[in-house]
Structure formats: C-alpha cells, structure tokens
Amino acid sequence: MFVMRFFLLLILGGLLSGNLPAQSDKLSKFQQFDGDDYEQIKPDSTFLQLKNAYNRAIEKKDQLAAASCLSQMGQICFHLGHLPQALDYHMQAISIFRKEHAALQLAGNLNDVGMLYYYNKQPELSRGQYEQALEIYHAVHNTPGIALTYGLIGHLHEKEQHYDSAFFYQRLALSTYLLADDKKGMSKIYENIGSIYEDLAVYDSAAWYFNKALDLNIIAGEDLARIEIYNNLGDVSRKTGHYAEALALTRRALLLSLALHEQHQLAGAYRDLAKAHHLAGTNDSAYFYLELSRQHLLETYSDENSKQVALLQSVYDIEKKNNEIERLQNARKTTRIMTVAIIIVVLLLVVMGVLIISRQRLKLRNEQILNTQHRQTFETERVLMEAALQTKQLQEGKLKEELEVRSRELTTHTLHLIQKNQLLEELRTRLDEMIRDDKRDQKKQLKQLLSQINHSFNHDQYWVDFRNIFEQVHQTFFDNLKKYCHTLTSNDLRLVALLRMNLESNDIATLLGISTDSLRVVRYRLRKKLNLQQGDSLTAFIQSL
C-alpha cells in the first residue's frame, strides 16, 4: 500500500507545485506539499478552495488552470478513497489537457488514472494509461516522468506476480534515475526491487536493496519514506528469525511515525512489534502492542471517516450551491430568452402588419393598374374587332360581288354553250338531210363537215373553262362528292355540275351532245355509282352537297 501511496505523493508534488496562482495560504501550501506534510492537510477545506479556484478559472476562461484544479480535486478524492469521483475529475482534466496540448500535465493525469484503475482491479486499463504517459514523457524528453512511469509499470507487474517484467521495468527506472542523479527516485526504486526480492523470499538481496534505499533516504532527508524502509527491514529480519534486530528496526519506524504524526505508519509499527514479540515468545508485549495497533487503527479510521464526511459534505454543499446557481442562471436565461422572444414576436407582428398593409396597398394599386390596363386592352380589342368586322363585311361584300360576277359568267357561258350546241344540232340535222340525197359529188365534203361538227361536240376546252368557273363558285362541291364515290368519270362530273345548276333535262342533253333517252341512261348509271336508293331524287342529293 505504501508503495503506491508514495508514487501518488510524488505525482501530486510534481503536478501541484506552480499550477495555479495562490488562492490562500492553505491552498498555496497544498500546491507545494510533499510526502511529509500530506497528513496535515485538511481535505475538505482544501477541496472547497480548489472548487472556488476552478469556478474562477472557468469565469476567466482559463482552461489550463481549471484542468489543474480538477486534477488536484481528483487527487484528494483518490487519497480519501472516493475512486469514482476521482476518476471523473481526472478524466475531465485529461480532456482539457489534450485540447490545450499540455503534455506534462496530461502525462501526470494519465499516471493518476492508471493508479485508479489499478486500485479498481483493472490492471489492463491501468497498463494502457501508463504506456500513454510513458510515450508522452519520451516525446518531451522528461527524464523524471520516464523514470516514475517505469517504476509504476514495474510495480504493476510485481502485484500481478510477473517478476521478470517487474525487475525489467524497475531497473529501467533505476538507470534513468542514475543518469539524472535523482537520489530520492533511486531510493524508491531500490525499495521496490527489495520488495520484489522479499516476495520471492530472497531475503539477503531484499535486505541489501532496502539498506541501499535507506542510505539514499538519509542523504535526501526523506523521513516519511524512511519509516517504510525500517518496517521492510524489520519484516525481513523477522522472517529470517532475527527477532531482536526486527524489534530494533521496527522501533525506529515507530519513533519516526510518532515524530511525524503518521497514524497509518504508527499502527503498522505497533502491529509489526506485536508480531515480533509473538514470534520471540513474549506474548504479553505482543498483546500490548497489538492492542495499541488496534486503537491507532480505530483512531485513524475515525479520522479518515471524519475527513471523508467533511469532504462529502463540502462536495454536497458545493453541488447544492452550484445547482442553485445553475437553476438561477437557467431561470435568468429563460427570462432573458422569453423577453427576447416576446420582443422578437412583437417586432415580427409589427413587421408583418406593415408588410400586410404595404401588400394591401400594393395589391390595390396593382388592381387599379390592371383595371386600367384591362380597360385599355378591352377598348383596343373592341376597336380592333370593329375594324376586323368592317373588314370582314367588306370582304364578304366583295366576295358576294365576285360570286355574282362568276355566277353571271357561268350562266352566260352555259347559255353560250347551249346556243352553240343548238346551232350545231341544227347544222347536223340539215347535213343529215343532205346526206340522204343522192348527190354523190357533195357526199364526201358533207361527211367531213359532219365529222368536224361531231368533233366540236366532244371538244373539252369549253368544259375546262366551265369547270374552273364552277369550282370557284362552288369551292368544296367536288370534294364532298368524292367522299361518296371515287370512280366518277369526267362525263359524270359534267352531268353532276349541270344538275347542280338545276338545268332542264333537254338543256343538259343538248350541252352533253346526247339524246334525252341517253341522258336517262347516264342518270341511272350515276345513281348506281352514288349508291342512291330507288325513290331518292338525284337532283335533290346533288343540291344537298
């Protein structure tokens, strides 16, 4: 137990000295304490001062000072056995030291956390923390830190009974302390090596290393560490049967414990004296010293309990005060937030009201502009429509005039054809009469004349002109007609056009150059092509297209 306690004191002394500005005489003393005066520190009042220093550091946004306070509060909790609370403080400090790149402080806290894991029976986690600390110390070339961490790793292996590894790391630590000529550190490592030999029951070697540690402690003036060495030497003498020597060495430890007011060491010394007297056969003295050991242990536990209760009360008071402060701050923040929110809402409502009014005004203005534009557009469209209507009426009038002209032309052309054909009919009749005469000298000429007349009846030029004029007057007539039949011949189309003009049958026969009977036959064939039923009027059907 004392081995780990010594390392704790060593780390505390290195970390706490100079980390924070002095808050008071007691706090300054705590920051600079060493192993000899640790028992005289009042942890409750010191913890309270550290908490106040932490709060001031947070207010000033001094992260390193705040982390240092957290580290020291963790060390106090560790000393009093509050391991979970100690671990929490150290982990907070480690987080800040990492962010601030404070290598030495980070490594020291990693070693502290390693010891916490060791006492919590988690050696693997403890070893991990030590290795991280060792890596940092190597990176910054910090020899004391390297040696200290080697010693911690060696002690961890000793408690796990890995004695080869324990010797290896303790000797690494010793060689590092030798290079730095650190007598205090060398003394501790000699003591650690002696403890390993004692576990292995190699008592000669154990005694030799314990004596080396004692010599260096006397030179360095480390009285507290010398108590433990006297006890260890007494244990070795007792285990080897040298009871008188064991009693003498333990009495030295007892006297130093009384001088330094070390209750733990005093109880241990009384216990070791009781063991030595018992083995020497003086049981009365053994009982006497054992009873003294028990009384001192009870006093120690009572004192420790008082310190723990005081510390817990301080922590409770601090937490209660912090919770109240936090509650008030939250209430203040809530009030401030609500006030700001109300102001923002009012401003938003005002802005929304202004925007709504502005939008309504803009909307009315836009509607007025739109109404004006619509009226102008309507007026323009009305004028344009009137102009278009006038233009259309003029076009319709012009078209009607053209249609009337075309109709007159068609009628005139048709009458001309009728007159021509009538004339030709008369000529043909007369020529037929001439042919019937037996005047052979005129017969050939008359046949030629008759052939020319017949050719004139079949000439299509007049019909082409007629169809062009007809299609202009009746534009879509032939298109509608073809929907009913696609096989109509040019003679069929002529007949249909004449029927469309509603001419008499005799006139139609004359224009087509056929007889009335032939016209009936042609009309019948046209009905068949148009798929007209019996009783349907051909003329009425054509007029409906």
Give the homologous superfamily in CATH for domain 12-141. Tetratricopeptide repeat domain (1.25.40.10)
**What length does the chain have?**
545
Tokens 């988690």, residue located: 122
Given this model, what pLDDT does residue 318 score?
61
Do 222-310 and 478-545 share a fold? no
Tokens 């070693």, residue located: 111
222-310: CATH topology is: 1.25.40
pLDDT of 457 higher than 70: no
For 492-498, which contacts have Cβ atoms below 8 Å and span 24 or more sequence positions? Answer: 492/522, 492/525, 492/526, 492/529, 493/467, 494/463, 495/522, 495/523, 495/526, 496/526, 496/542, 497/466, 497/467, 497/470
Which pLDDT band, with edges at 50, 70 and 90, does 202 fall under? very high
User: Whole-prediction pTM value?
Assistant: 0.51
Percentage of the chain beyond pLDDT 70 is: 77
The Cα 170–Cα 158 span in angstroms is: 10
Q: 10 Å Cβ neighbour count for 183?
A: 18
What is residue 386's three-state secondary structure?
Answer: helix
Q: 10 Å Cβ neighbour count for 296?
A: 20
Q: Give the residue-averaged pLDDT of 127-154.
A: 92
CA pseudo-torsion sign 26, 31, 32, 33: positive
Do 97 and 66 contact (CB within 8 A), yes or no?
A: no
Report how far apart, in Å, the C-alpha atoms of 330 and of each of 120, 334, 338, 434 are: 37, 6, 12, 140
The per-residue pLDDT for range 211-223, each reduced to its tens digit, is 998 888 888 777 7
The Cα 14–Cα 104 span in angstroms is: 10
The Cα 49–Cα 39 span in angstroms is: 18
Q: What is the dihedral of CA 207, 212, 214, 219, to 10 degrees?
A: 170
Top-level CATH class of 163-220?
mainly alpha
pLDDT greater at residue 424 or residue 105? 105
The Cα 272–Cα 435 span in angstroms is: 181
Exposure string for 139-160, b = 16+ CB within 10 A, e = fewer = eeebebbbbbbbbbbbbbbbee
The Cα 150–Cα 242 span in angstroms is: 34
Given this model, what pLDDT does residue 25 score?
34
The per-residue pLDDT for range 485-516, each reduced to its tens digit, is 878 888 888 888 888 887 888 888 877 778 88
Q: Which CATH number fits domain 478-545: 1.20.81.30, 1.10.10.10, 3.20.20.70, 1.10.3720.10?
A: 1.10.10.10
Q: Give the residue-averaged pLDDT of 49-68.
A: 88
Helices (H), 62-142: 63-79, 83-100, 103-119, 123-140
Do 78 and 108 contact (CB within 8 A), yes or no?
A: no
Given this model, what pLDDT does residue 309 score?
53
Q: What number of CA atoms fall less than 13 Å from residue 450's CA on the CB side?
A: 15
Question: What is the three-state SS of 233-293?
Answer: HHHHHHHCCCHHHHHHHHHHHHHHHHHHCCHHHHHHHHHHHHHHHHHHCCHHHHHHHHHHH
Mean pLDDT, the chain, integer: 78
For 163-170, which contacts have Cβ atoms below 8 Å and span 24 or more sequence positions? Answer: 163/196, 163/199, 163/200, 166/196, 167/193, 167/196, 170/196
Q: 10 Å Cβ neighbour count for 184?
A: 18
Given this model, what pLDDT does residue 455 score?
60
Percentage of the chain beyond pLDDT 90 is: 16
Residue type at position 115: M
Given this model, what pLDDT does residue 193 score?
92
Q: Give the residue-averaged pLDDT of 420-443.
A: 69
Given this model, what pLDDT does residue 529 score?
85
The per-residue pLDDT for range 515-526, each reduced to its tens digit, is 888 888 888 888
Report how far apart, in Å, the C-alpha atoms of 251 and of each of 3, 212, 254 are: 21, 20, 5
The per-residue pLDDT for range 277-295, each reduced to its tens digit, is 888 888 888 788 888 877 7
The encoded tokens of residue 472 equal 């202009």
pLDDT of 320 higher than 50: yes
For the chain, domain boundaries: 12-141, 163-220, 222-310, 478-545
Least confident of 13-27, 210-224, 358-372, 401-415: 13-27
